[in-house]
Amino acid sequence: MTKFIGGAILMLCLVAASYAADPTKHPCTHETIPLTTEKSVVQAVECLYQGRVAKVTQVKTDQGDWYYQLRILISGGRIKTVDINPETGLPLDPVELESLYEIINR
């Protein structure tokens, strides 16, 4: 359990460090954060995944918050479902976020 927590903290630190380059801009579209429209979030996600958003759903949590759940048509005709932070246009899943930053920083 301790290794898992330590790994999670390390991962979040790495993501934060790569995001620290300019935390006021989206890493792919370079649009100012917070993103203010559903359209800007869709554009950011299409840029990140090099795909086409097929469906957008707003999901409400038990705490009263909400996020976007997007279905994205990506290469090879595959569909990927991703939960997206409505303010940043970035995935909520830290593992998914880290893999995207690795691709962007290549």
36-50 pLDDT per residue, tens: 999 999 999 999 999
- pLDDT tens by residue, 11-21: 444 444 444 46
Amino acid at 25: K
Please state the pTM of the whole predicted model: 0.74
Gap between the Cα atoms of 13 and 3, Å rounded: 15
**Would you say residue 85 has pLDDT above 50?**
yes
Q: Report the C-alpha gap between 57 and 100 in whole angstroms.
A: 21
Instruction: Please give the Cα distance from 80 to 3 (Å, whole number).
Output: 29
Q: How confident is the model at residue 102 (pLDDT cuts 50, 70, 90)?
A: confident
CA-to-CA distance for 63 and 86, rounded, in angstroms? Answer: 16
95 by DSSP, 3-state: which? helix
Angstrom distance (rounded) from CA 76 to CA 74? 6
